[in-house]
Amino acid sequence: MAHIQKIEIIDPKVAERVRKNPIVLQPGINVLIGPNGSGKSTILTGLNRKWKKQIKLTISGNGKLNYYAFDFEKDNPRKQNAFYSDNDRAIAQLAMIMSSHGESVKTLIAWLLDEKLKDKLMLYDEPEQALDLEGLQTLVANARQSPAEQIIIATHSPAIILQPDFHVVELVDGYKEQIRNHVIALAEIARQ
């Protein structure tokens, strides 16, 4: 078992695309938040592509990470050249090809409960895309119940960001409070 404790951006070209450095993570569910351009996807891309010269990882346990990464925009199964090569994701993709985008995302969310994820790291880049309220609630519930060692989600969704038991990593200080205030303002408008 292993999880990422800290991510340090060491390449100056990558560091200029990420607004916070270093990034401290915990086992369990971690949520990367910040406005567009703050580096959420850059961090997940670096982890997925193993940018050994660009990022330095501090890893707990045996130091070996086993992970699955999903970019819910770029890995759309209908997109040419987006087919997965590993067997587990290829099986999930077969179910997704004939489904709507929302149903495809729900397939990957359901996968969070698979026992094969024990001791693994899951990287989810903006999974809220194409999800309705029920899908967001399922994502939150499945993440909590997942056997995965660590889940890292990059998101803009208040339904994910404001979960009290998720470890939130602000790439821009004060961003969570901005989200909270915006949700409160929307609730006031809805009451009128």
**Alpha carbon 90 to chain centroid, angstroms:** 20
For 178-185, which contacts have Cβ atoms below 8 Å and span 24 or more sequence positions?
179/33, 182/158, 183/158
Looking at residue 175, its pLDDT comes to 95
Is residue 32 within 8 Å of 41, Cβ to Cβ?
no
Number of domains in the chain: 1
**Residue pLDDT, tens place only, 69-120:** 766 666 554 444 455 555 665 655 555 555 566 676 777 788 889 898 888 8
**Residue pLDDT, tens place only, 3-39:** 888 888 888 787 777 878 888 999 999 999 999 989 8
Domain that holds residue 139: 4-191
Looking at residue 80, its pLDDT comes to 46
60 pLDDT exceeds 70?
yes
**Residue pLDDT, tens place only, 154-186:** 999 999 999 999 999 999 999 999 999 999 999
Amino acid at 167: H
Is residue 108 within 8 Å of 129, Cβ to Cβ?
no
Spatial separation of the C-alpha atoms in residues 96 and 107, rounded to whole Å:
7
CATH assignment at residue 98: 3.40.50
Q: Is the pTM of this model over 0.85?
A: no
Give the largest CA-CA distance in the chain: 55
**Residue pLDDT, tens place only, 115-161:** 988 888 888 888 887 788 888 999 999 999 999 999 999 999 999 99
Spatial separation of the C-alpha atoms in residues 47 and 49, rounded to whole Å:
6
